[in-house]
Chain A
């Protein structure tokens, strides 16, 4: 160690300065390389020239600030008062109530099984809704059931003997998919 200390004292400041300059040089080069890599990646991934949209496109997508219309210029409560026909029960339902209605009607939502089992437990016969096996009753829902009735959870006592129902619900799930995605209706053999 002593030798190094001696060496240090005999090094002039210019040597230290040289070292300092070299360190600075390295740092600057690192910065340059960093930029090169960033730019190269941007070029290859295609987002380098993204800030150079032409004037026309800029005009097209400008933010709209008019009353009654959202920032894209679309009227946003256009569909509030339209009515849809339910494919299951052929009733005319308001658009905003359509989704929850479909859930109950096709027996597919989280609540419909509760409602159905309640109805069965209380001895009522219903042919409108069919229950299916949903196990995650406890999960908190921010669902679309407006005025969700707070019902006591009914445990189905005859859950196990209902294995035929499971395949039925699968069939309905596929039907829903067909309706919503506009694909071919799935027919079970």
Chain B
């Protein structure tokens, strides 16, 4: 494993161990609900489901249709805030 890959692995592990990943997840989720991202995406889901048919829609269908749109729809402010927190964590804890 390259040094960088090792670093990434170690950082990820630390994120999880310290519970920070969970907190970040929750924060992101809350922000996304607040800014209407979730409702937007849900509406898009409805379209996909109506298109594919209620009985036949699979998880794969939804994932393929929803994930790219979801990624694109995240507002910049939310991204900024999350990145700030992540960077702060990295600055504090990347000295292994």
Contacts and interface: CB of A to CB of B under 8 A. Distances in A.
If over half of A's interface residues share one DSSP class (helix, strand or loop), that class is named, otherwise mixed; here it is helix
- Residue in A4, A5, A24, A33 with the greatest tally of chain B CB atoms within 10 Å: A24
If over half of B's interface residues share one DSSP class (helix, strand or loop), that class is named, otherwise mixed; here it is helix
Interface stretch (A12-20, A104-112, A130-138, A144-152): A12-20
Contacts of B3: 4, 7
Interface stretch (A34-42, A158-166, A180-188): A34-42
A1 interface: yes
B94 A32 contact: no
A31 B83 contact: no
B70 A35 contact: yes
Contacts of A21: 83
B62 A27 contact: no
B19 to A, nearest CB: 14
A23 B28 CA distance: 12
Contact of B95 (A8, A23, A33, A37): A8
Contacts of B57: 40, 43
Given A43-B49, A48-B49, A28 B70 contact: yes
Given A37-B59, A43-B49, A43-B57, A30 B86 contact: no
Interface in B17-54: 21, 24-25, 28-29, 32, 38, 41-42, 45-46, 49, 54
A43 B55 CA distance: 8
Given A24-B86, A32-B67, A5 B42 contact: no
Contacts of A15: 4
Nearest to A7: B3
A39 B71 contact: no
8 contacts: A19-B7, A23-B12, A24-B83, A28-B74, A32-B71, A34-B29, A39-B62, A49-B54
Interface of B: 3-4, 7-8, 11-12, 15, 21, 24-25, 28-29, 32, 38, 41-42, 45-46, 49, 54, 57-59, 62-63, 66-67, 70-71, 74, 79, 82-83, 86-87, 90, 94-96
